Amino acid sequence: MDIIVCMKMVPDTSETEVRVDSTNKDILKVRLIYTTNEADNYALETALLLKEKLGGTVTLISVGPQKVDEVLRMGLAKGADRAIRLTDELFDKGDAWTTAKALAQAISQNKYDLVLSGCIASDDGYSQIGPTLAALLKIPSAAYVNKVEVLDNTKLRIDRELEGGILERKEISLPALLTIQTGTNTPRYASIIGIKRAGAKPLDVFDAAKLNLDAQALAGLTELDKMYMPKVESKAQFIQGSDDEISDKLATLVKEKAGL
Amino acid sequence: MISLLIEIREGQIKDITYEMLTLAHKLAAAQKQEITSIILSDNCQQYADTIKQYSHKIICVEDPLLANFNTQVYLPVLSNIINDTKPNLFLIASSGFGTDLAPYLAASLNLPLITDIFDLELNPDNMLARRSMYGGKINADIISKSLPAIATVRVGSFEKILASNLLIPNLSAEITKLPFLIDPSILEMSKFIEYGEVPTTGIDITKSDILIAVGRGIKEQKNLAAVEKFAQDIGGTLACTRPIIDAGWLPKDRQVGSSGKTVKPKLYIALGISGAFQHISGMKSSENIIAVNKDPEAPIFSVAHYGVVGDLLKILPLLANRINALKG
Ligand SMILES: Cc1cc2nc3c(=O)[nH]c(=O)nc-3n(C[C@H](O)[C@H](O)[C@H](O)COP(=O)(O)OP(=O)(O)OC[C@H]3O[C@@H](n4cnc5c(N)ncnc54)[C@H](O)[C@@H]3O)c2cc1C
Ligand SMILES: Nc1ncnc2c1ncn2[C@@H]1O[C@H](COP(=O)(O)O)[C@@H](O)[C@H]1O
């Protein structure tokens, strides 16, 4: 099975302050550490497990600056066969639609049975690019997948996650696109040998011109107007003091509210 | 015209439908627009009866193949409706169904889409939508460059139409039934089999009056033992955020949030939980919420009644000692 995995590099903002920059169109990027988008690690692991079982190839693809090679090399070190990076100013100017168009154009030049993406990017949180890409490739898709079983060479049986812990089980014919949910599997770490080998694996770079895409084809359908800090309407009563004082007050509070 | 897709799962109209109706009425009043509700089902009448008082028009497409949600089957049906009726705005739930469908539909029709919005303004030639980014740490206003546009609506962003204090006109929608015409080969591409449930270990966190919930701030699996012990000491049950489940540190039935359980205990203690929307939506109705987080700007403090800015790994052992002393 030939599988393509969409990988995005995102800033890790889970434990850092996030501030809007002076353009009001982006966040301040200083001091941020960049990593692979969380869900994409699960998508890659899904691909690697299928390859181990069925043979075939795993190709990684990412739209972004040269820096995303770190994400791609890490994916190659884990066992992917080759990588494609799409880099062009025109890709940065658009929206989710633009990114999906670039991906679709590059992917359609390859042979594939399955395209995987993460279910959501932790920075923009669109949950949009996977199914958009599927529509552009004219293949069926399923979002928020957390289980993939191969029925035969033409069909998958999958579980999708719905609200409240309910799963939707369905069959989908290949070629197809799945967006993979976090927790689907246990993403592996790259081995030392894997990391050594990754450097020799092919990593191709394409710009818009090479993909036959121009500014018009890549124009977004939406536009960011501005970013701003949400108003946190905190009604919380803050308990202050040294750790000891806090613990004293907290213990009294917990005892009262827990009815001990 | 503003159109919306009624969300139905297992024979029930989901609450988000009534939230989308509130948004639609808010916009319709400002813009003098009509509201069209779209029902795709194997049996439309019962749903049409429930919502006709909130819609100017209802479009029904009825067929056994529409008994369950399916993007690939919905796609040609909705594409035809949108092409024929050209609504300014088309609302879909930002749910497991809507997030599967909306991007595919928008891309197929070449229409702008803004996902997971919690507020929206409709202008004569565009829409401006508000949504969050970076796990709720930043908000963004996004504009569609043209209309018709599609938006998916975040669950819990609007009151349900009955509970809203909007003055809504007295409506009784005229119902149009459209034929269901699809190429049967579509069913070969994507077929609904059944709904399933996540296996449980017998613990029901929705039954507990006291929940001690941990998030990624707990750092390591081995730190869970102390929290478990503390929970026992105060007669509570251990719960957690999704990443703790994803890491395999606790079983799925301990998860609080939109893809886990909705809980309403007397006391909810959130330890090292940032307060992402998907988590908060499952616990915000708790009677008393105490949050411990080292980040003073963590969104969890927007729903907490009591807050502690500090390191849970330092505070928890001190707190556990005090509690045991007080219980004496
Ligand atoms: C479709 C979908 C469904 C989802 N469903 C759910 C769901 O049902 N439930 C759910 O919880 N999530 C859900 N999520 C995930 C959700 O978006 C967040 O990623 C998740 O809730 C974050 O969990 P967290 O707060 O544990 O981790 P983080 O966001 O990483 O937060 C960790 C927090 O711990 C604090 N911290 C770190 N160290 C310490 C310390 N020593 N002392 C005190 N504080 C510390 C940090 O400041 C930070 O605020 C869902 C996501 C998607 C896309
Ligand atoms: N720039 C990108 N390059 C490659 N894949 C991407 C990119 N942006 C998004 N994706 C993929 O699309 C998924 C969903 O992203 P989003 O729609 O932005 O939430 C991600 O998990 C990635 O797999």
Confidence of residue A20 (pLDDT cuts 50, 70, 90): very high
The residue type at B271: L
Mean pLDDT of chain A: 96
Contact residues, chain B, for A221 at CB < 8 Å: 110-113, 144-146
User: CA angle, B214 as apex, B213 and B218 as ends, to 5°?
Assistant: 160
Asked, for residue B171, whether it belongs to a domain, the answer is: yes
pLDDT given for residue A115 in this prediction: 98
Contact residues, chain B, for A118 at CB < 8 Å: none
Confidence of residue A162 (pLDDT cuts 50, 70, 90): very high
Asked, for residue A238, whether it belongs to a domain, the answer is: no
Candidate from A129, A184, A206 with most ligand 2 atoms within 8 A of CB, to mutate = A129
Asked, for residue B313, whether it belongs to a domain, the answer is: yes
Phi and psi dihedrals of B291, rounded to 5?
-120, 135
Positive or negative: CA dihedral B244, B248, B251, B257 = positive
The single residue listed with the structure tokens 């995102």 is A10
pLDDT given for residue A101 in this prediction: 98
CA-only gyration radius of chain B, Å:
23
Total number of domains in chain A: 1
- How large a percentage of chain A has pLDDT more than 70? 100
Domain that holds residue A81: 2-206
- CATH number of the domain bearing residue B220: 3.40.50.1220
- How large a percentage of chain A has pLDDT more than 90? 92
* Residue at which a domain ends, from B124, B158, B188: B188
pLDDT tens-place string over residues A97-116: 999 999 999 999 999 999 99
Distance (angstroms) between ligand 1 centre and the Cα of B278 equals 9
* Residue at which a domain ends, from B163, B188, B213: B188
User: CA angle, B54 as apex, B48 and B55 as ends, to 5°?
Assistant: 70
pLDDT given for residue B328 in this prediction: 67
A197 φ/ψ sector (left φ>0, alpha ψ -120 to 50, else beta): alpha
Question: Minimal Cα distance from A249: which residue of B?
Answer: B319
Asked, for residue B320, whether it belongs to a domain, the answer is: yes
According to the 3-state scheme, what is the secondary structure of B110-165? Answer: CCCEEEEECEEEECCCCEEEEEEEHHHCEEEEEEECCCCEEEEEECCCCCCCCCCC
On the question of pLDDT at B140 being above 80, the answer is yes
pLDDT tens-place string over residues B184-234: 888 889 999 999 998 889 999 999 999 999 999 999 999 999 999 999 999
Pair (B167, B224) in one structural domain? no
The residue type at A67: K
Pair (B145, B234) in one structural domain? no
**CA distances (Å), origin B34, targets B18, B27, B245:** 16, 10, 45
- For the ranges A150-154, B21-25, B83-87, B267-271, which has the lowest average pLDDT? A150-154
Check: CB of residue B193 under 8 Å from CB of residue A169.
yes
Pair (B229, B174) in one structural domain? no
Question: What DSSP character marks residue B309?
Answer: E
Confidence of residue B256 (pLDDT cuts 50, 70, 90): very high
Pair (B300, B242) in one structural domain? yes
Query: Could you tell me which residues are beta bridge partners of residue B211?
Result: B237, B268
Burial zone of A207 (CB within 10 Å; 0-12 exposed, 13-18 middle, 19+ buried): middle
* Cα distance between residue B102 and residue B105, in whole Å: 5
Residue B295: name the closest of A239, A247, A236, A15 by CA.
A15
Domain that holds residue B88: 2-188
pLDDT tens-place string over residues A188-228: 999 999 999 999 999 999 999 999 999 999 999 999 999 99
Contact A14 B274 (CB under 8 A): yes
Pair (B33, B82) in one structural domain? yes
Alpha helices (H) along chain B: 15-31, 45-51, 71-85, 98-109, 186-189, 224-233, 242-246, 277-280, 312-327
Contact A140 B72 (CB under 8 A): yes
Which residues contact ligand 2 via a Cβ below 6 A? A 6-8, 37, 39-40, 43, 62-64, 96, 99, 117-118, 120-121, 124-130
Contact residues, chain A, for B243 at CB < 8 Å: 182
Check: CB of residue B30 under 8 Å from CB of residue B128.
no
Phi and psi dihedrals of A153, rounded to 5?
-70, -10
pLDDT given for residue B326 in this prediction: 84
* 3 state SS of B217: helix
Asked, for residue A240, whether it belongs to a domain, the answer is: no
Instruction: Answer whether A233 touches B (CB < 8 Å).
Output: yes
Contact residues, chain A, for B245 at CB < 8 Å: 183
Residue A133: name the closest of A203, A61, A216 by CA.
A61
Contact B319 A130 (CB under 8 A): no
- For the ranges A61-65, A168-172, B10-14, B184-188, which has the lowest average pLDDT? B184-188
Asked, for residue B48, whether it belongs to a domain, the answer is: yes
- CATH number of the domain bearing residue B175: 3.40.50.620
Report residue A40 as tokens: 């994409």
Pair (B274, B180) in one structural domain? no
Asked, for residue A161, whether it belongs to a domain, the answer is: yes
For residue B116, give how far its alpha carbon lies from the nearest alpha carbon of chain A (Å): 7
Mean pLDDT of chain B: 95
Instruction: Answer whether A226 touches B (CB < 8 Å).
Output: yes
**Predicted-complex ipTM score:** 0.96
Check: CB of residue A127 under 8 Å from CB of residue B115.
yes
Check: CB of residue B252 under 8 Å from CB of residue B260.
yes
Contact B116 A258 (CB under 8 A): no
pLDDT given for residue B31 in this prediction: 83
pLDDT given for residue B185 in this prediction: 86
**CB neighbourhood size of A203 (10 A):** 15
Total number of domains in chain B: 2
**CB neighbourhood size of B75 (10 A):** 20
On the question of pLDDT at B160 being above 80, the answer is yes
Helix (H) or strand (E) holding B213: strand B210-214
For residue B172, give how far its alpha carbon lies from the nearest alpha carbon of chain A (Å): 31
pTM of the model: 0.96
